[in-house]
Amino acid sequence: MSPLARLVQSLQVTADKDRHFIGQPSTNDFHVYGGLILSQAIDAARQCSPSNYALQSLHGQFLRPGIAKENIQIRVDDLKDGRRFKIFNVYCEQQGKTIFFATVTFHLPEQSFEHTRKAPALSLPAEDKATLFIDRMTPLPEDKTRDDAALEVRIEDINKFDIELKPEQITWFKTADDTLALTHWQQTLLLAYCSDWNLPTVALRPHIITEDQKLKAASLDHSIWFYQQAQLDNWAAHVKDSPAAQGGRGHSRGLFYSATGDLLACVNQESFMVAVDKS
């Protein structure tokens, strides 16, 4: 199985019993990547929703650090069973404790008003700005080749925490394997997966972290609204900014655009972020 196929498989959950599912664990040694959990929550809710309803949104809360290399137990409860909207509460648990909670909404599409915010001027960074990732958003080891990668990420203006930078950044995502045909739903899960990557750091960019300080940061919540179908076998740009940081919390938000300028999704996240003296 290719790295991309393994990644996509990890975003999809396995039915256990009535409205209970099992999500694959993170293979990372030190934490569970938030994008993995929220994608699994979305997939569990999808399996409880009528197929003719489209995914509208996820509103999630990161409650506890996840335990790496341990399965995630997922439970889905009905919140609203309406004619236009189906809303589910999703509980992701490990060792009997909820580590992530989300409300996931599906909407029966209908004709109505339409507009989207125009994409800013977008220019794909050069290949020397690329970083390759294996599954679970782990950078590709130096002894591996592109054939071992699942995703390619390019950033023109990388983070530098020893100088003040604008609280803005554009991150480009694309699957590294062009031979694997993904379904529309798998593409949607991949977009959700990528939406969490490096988002909290946008709120850190205007601030300096000295060598005598240690950063403590963690995602607190995550919201994403879906509008058009993602196709990550072509480039997608996550245009991010941070409107505020205050009282140990930083707010980051993003707009996902296709390479042709179509708005795919809107993202908001708040993170805990403080710098403490190493001593």
**What's the CATH code, domain 3-109+123-277?**
2.40.160.210
What pLDDT is attached to residue 32?
Answer: 87
Q: What is the mean pLDDT of residues 22-48?
A: 90
pLDDT category at 137 given cuts 50, 70, 90 is confident
All structural domains of the chain with their residue ranges: 3-109+123-277
Q: What is the mean pLDDT of residues 199-223?
A: 94
Give the pLDDT confidence of 146-176 residue by residue, as tens digits: 888 999 999 999 999 889 999 999 999 999 9
pLDDT category at 29 given cuts 50, 70, 90 is low
pLDDT category at 115 given cuts 50, 70, 90 is very high
pLDDT category at 136 given cuts 50, 70, 90 is low
pLDDT category at 178 given cuts 50, 70, 90 is confident
What pLDDT is attached to residue 88?
Answer: 98
| pLDDT above 90 (res 257) | yes
Give the pLDDT confidence of 66-99 residue by residue, as tens digits: 998 899 999 999 999 999 999 999 999 999 999 9
Of 10-14, 32-36, 186-190, the one with minimum mean pLDDT is 32-36
Q: What is the mean pLDDT of the chain?
A: 94
What pLDDT is attached to residue 144?
Answer: 82
Label each residue of the chain as H, E or C. CCHHHHHHHHHCCEEEECCEEEECCCCCCCCCCHHHHHHHHHHHHHCCCCCCCEEEEEEEEECCCCCCCCCEEEEEEEEEECCCEEEEEEEEEECCEEEEEEEEEEECCCCCCCCCCCCCCCCCCCHHHEEEEEHHHEECCCCCCHHHCCEEEEECCCCCCCCCCCCEEEEEEEECCCCCCCCHHHHHHHHHHHHCCCCHHHHHCCCCCCCCEEEEEEEEEEEEEECCCCCCCCCEEEEEEEEEEECCEEEEEEEEEECCCCEEEEEEEEEEEEEEECC
| pLDDT above 90 (res 45) | yes
Q: What is the mean pLDDT of residues 135-143?
A: 78
